[in-house]
Chain A
Amino acid sequence: MATTATITISSPDLVTDQLALTTTCTMTKAGNSTDIAQTSGLARTNFTVGGSSPFKSKVIYRSNDATSDGANKVYLKNLSTTATEYFTIFIDQEEMGRLYAEDWAFFPWRSSDGTEETFIITIANTWAAGDTWDFDGITTTAANSTVADIAAQIHAQNFPNWTTSISTAAVTFTARVSGAAGVVTGSTAITGDTVTTAGSGSAAVTSGAVGTRSESDIIVVPSVATTMDLEHMLFYQ
């Protein structure tokens, strides 16, 4: 068994000849017959947004969630039973259409990703046990004065918005989500970090690159501020 999607469109009275169309596609990776391998699973998202129109949107899938230009597929369904309630579906900034009550959609998704911000800090000069480096809400407290050990401590943290890799005393940070988040402000500058040291310890940024935003996030806007629910699922490479 693989992953399949079957559509049946039927109408006894739209045209003289009864309309009865059925098509099944087996979801495969781009350009070959290998079965698609990953799914988000079926999910339900509530929109109780309050406020006034235009109502607050939600990102249902970010471009980071799937392979760019893969054979990704998205399923959406408006679970509302009130005929006038609809979700407006946007890809990036462009409107696809309105998903009215009980309507569903199934479509391929380009998932064109942007680039993630990245920077490198190098732990240097004189550190002492108890010195700290704060960033992204995480405080790393030096266990000793060895710069490579302190870098390893930083690398061992789980930053909410960044992943890390390490080379001796240099730690490379990469944003989890693409976009120009404003943390990296230049090739040698970031905002929001603090070194507290008894000596001359430093965590200088030795390189950095500003990110660019994704161009195909799936954004959904409800038509009312009261509760609406969207069912959704992503199949991706």
Chain B
Amino acid sequence: MATTTAAISLTSDLLSDALSVSTTTTCMKAGTTADGLDQMDTGYIEIPTGDVYDILSLQTSDTQIDKANKVYICNESTDETYYVSVTVKAEVIGRLYAGDWMFIPWGAEHADSDIGLESSTGTNKITYTLFHEGRTLLAS
């Protein structure tokens, strides 16, 4: 099986006691410890202003639905005023500012659970990766 790990380290001096949180997860297929996520889609894209653009979409009856998919998105822009609004199923989760990254589970519980990005300032440069266990391919 493929073994993919994702680790996070959070550090802060906001509190009296220095904050240092680190944890690692191995990206497994849904509900198992025996089989890791073994497929990956990745991309680098420029998101212009003016609309919500889906970077990850689902097909009806897609096999990704209700799985343990993971999505990594990073805003590679360098102008601190730049951000993209991140949506899942048309619900705005939050604003990913220049230099920020996010890592979320994507259960994709419905065929319209697309992940979209909307630039509200200039053109934002985005990298993204989806780790998953299979998807429905469209026949040509």
Contacts and interface: CB of A to CB of B under 8 A. Distances in A.
Given A26-B99, A95-B107, A103-B68, A31 B3 contact: no
A98 interface: yes
A153 B124 CA distance: 55
Interface of B: 2-15, 18-19, 21, 23, 25-28, 30-33, 38, 40, 66-70, 72, 74, 80-81, 83, 85-86, 88-97, 99-110, 113, 129
Nearest to B73: A107
A105 B13 CA distance: 21
B3 A13 contact: yes
A4 B10 contact: yes
A160 interface: no
B94 A32 contact: no
B28 to A, nearest CB: 7
Given A3-B13, A15-B40, A84-B31, A94 B4 contact: no
Given A104-B25, A108-B86, A28 B80 contact: yes
B40 to A, nearest CB: 6
Interface stretch (A34-42, A121-129, A141-149, A205-213): A34-42
Contacts, number: 203
21 contacts: A3-B11, A6-B8, A8-B7, A9-B7, A14-B40, A15-B40, A28-B80, A30-B95, A38-B14, A42-B21, A83-B33, A88-B107, A97-B88, A99-B105, A105-B103, A107-B94, A110-B93, A112-B92, A216-B92, A233-B10, A233-B21
B9 A6 contact: yes
Interface stretch (A70-78, A162-170, A181-189): A70-78
Interface string A74-97: 010100000110101101111111
A102 interface: yes
A19 B2 CA distance: 11
A235 B106 CA distance: 22
Given A42-B21, A75-B10, A97-B69, A30 B97 contact: yes
Which bracket fits the contact residues of A?
35 or more
Contacts of A8: 5-9
B93 A13 contact: no
Contacts of A89: 104-105
Contacts of B96: 108
Given A3-B14, A9-B129, A19-B4, A25 B101 contact: yes
A228 to B, nearest CB: 14
Contacts of B88: 91, 94-97
A83 B3 contact: no
Contacts of B27: 103
Contacts of B66: 98
Given A72-B94, A107-B94, 12 more contacts: A1-B11, A4-B10, A6-B9, A8-B8, A9-B6, A11-B5, A15-B40, A97-B109, A98-B30, A109-B93, A112-B92, A233-B21
8 tightest A-B contacts by CB?
A108-B94, A97-B105, A97-B107, A94-B91, A3-B12, A11-B4, A107-B102, A84-B31
